[in-house]
Amino acid sequence: MATLKELVKKPGILSPGHRLCAGCTAPTLVRQVLMAVDTPVVIGNATGCLEVSTTIFPQTAWRCSWIHNAFENAAATASGVEAAYKSLKRQGKIKDEFRFITFGGDGGTYDIGLQSLSGAMERGHHMLYVCYDNGAYMNTGIQRSSATPRGADTTTSPAGEKVPGKPANRKDLTAIMAAHNIPYVAQVSPSHWNDVVTKVKKALDCGGAAFINAIAPCHRGWRYPIEDGIEMARLAVDTCYWPLFEVVNGEWKLTYKPREKKPLVEFLKPQGRFKHLFAPENEHIIKEMQEQVDRNWEALLKRCGEA
């Protein structure tokens, strides 16, 4: 494993001067992912914050080949690029060793892009798909997605007089991807950069389709102080809301175990989107959310042979 000092010396593939919000954790995560890349790379990008902010014509923040096609088809598009690579390489028309990484937000991955992602993973294209999960459709103004946690106040699941935020639980996309029986699946957080780089390296070298789900706090949607993005990501991990693990050829392994499992409220409290849950009539929701996290964590420990 390289040291952070060595890694930051690598010329960044995502340059400064992109137009994502100050304090957004998505570009931090993307940089961490790209630190693991040692070959030429083609980046695919679904429509969303990362895409619209980094390539406003005639400028681009990407120091590599990059393609955006539409909202829901980033994985299918990358399948095509990878197929072109295979074909041209076989014919001797390309000599370089390429890697393919696709980024999509949770909306473009959990919801509208799920079919295209599932197809690409099933076909086993040699590519890594990274979902940066900020828990809502942020680019269009914070609408709920199937990654939005229960209880969250969003513009399409507003906390109102009768309905206290999003009624349903989030979808467990990482497990769904693991069920595709692809060689590599993992969950990461930008608060644990070393873990991110290690996992991306494994994913890129797994020889087939790989999926990494990354939590990517958004201060606009989550409503916490701008500078606290990485802290939010860390709290998600330490409360076991967002555990770090990997599934290598079907084998589940926990890659980080918090020394002390913090209560979920520590993650919820600083976020404006959960404010209404702290009203007395809604406290039962927090309790139920905690129970859900506990159940998921126990199940994960079992799957990883740790309990």
Partner 1 sequence: MAEKKALTGNEAVALAMKQIEPDVVAAYPITPQTDIVQYFSNYVADGKVKTEFVTVESEHSAMSATVGAAAGGARAMTATSSQGLALMWEVVYIAASSRLPIVMPVVNRALSGPINIHCDHGDTMGARDSGWIQLYSESVQEAYDNLIQAVRIAEHPDLQLPVMVCQDGFITSHGLENAEILDDETVKRFVGEYKPRFSLLNPAKPVTFGALDLQDYYFEHKRSQSEAMKNAGKVILQVAEEFKKLTGREYGYFEKYMLDDAEVAVVALNSTAGTAKMVVDELRQAGSKVGLLKPRVFRPFPAKELAETLRGLKVVAVMDRADSFNAYGGPLFNEIRSAMYDTPGPKILSYIYGLGGRDIGPADVTKVYDDLLEIKKTGRCDSILNYLGVRE
Query: Contact at 8 Å (CB) between 273 and 153?
Result: yes
Among residues 129, 137, 222, 242, the one that binds ligand TPP under rule CB under 6 A: 137
> In the numeric block, which tokens belong to residue 238?
């330490």
Minimum distance between the CB of residue 105 and ligand TPP, rounded to whole angstroms? 2
Q: Identify residue 110 by its one-letter amino acid code.
A: Y
Peptide bond into 58 cis (omega under 30): yes
Q: What part of residues 65-104 is at the interface with partner 1 (CB under 8 A)?
A: 65-70, 72-73, 76-88, 90-91, 94, 96, 98
Given the DSSP bridges, would you call strands 41-45 and 99-105 parallel, antiparallel or unpaired? parallel
Rounded to 10 degrees, the C-alpha dihedral 10/256/23/285 comes to 160
CA-wise closest residue to 154 among 166, 167, 169, 170? 166
Q: Can residue 123 be called a binding residue for partner 1 (CB under 8 A)?
A: yes
Rounded distance between C-alpha atoms, residue 160 and residue 137, angstroms: 20
Site track for ligand SF4 across 34-63, x = CB under 6 A? ---------------x---x----------
Give which of ligand SF4, ligand TPP, partner 1, none residue 21 binds (C-beta under 5 to 8 Å, depending on kind).
ligand SF4
Structure tokens at 186: 């993992």
138 touches ligand TPP by CB under 6 A: yes
- Only one residue has tokens 């409503």, namely 223
Name the segment binding partner 1 (CB under 8 A); options: 118-126, 168-176, 227-235, 276-284. Answer: 118-126
Each residue 57-76 as x (binds ligand TPP by CB under 6 A) or -, in order, gives --------------xx----
Encoded one letter per residue, x for contact with ligand SF4 by CB under 6 A and - for no contact, window 16-35 reads ----xx--x-x---------
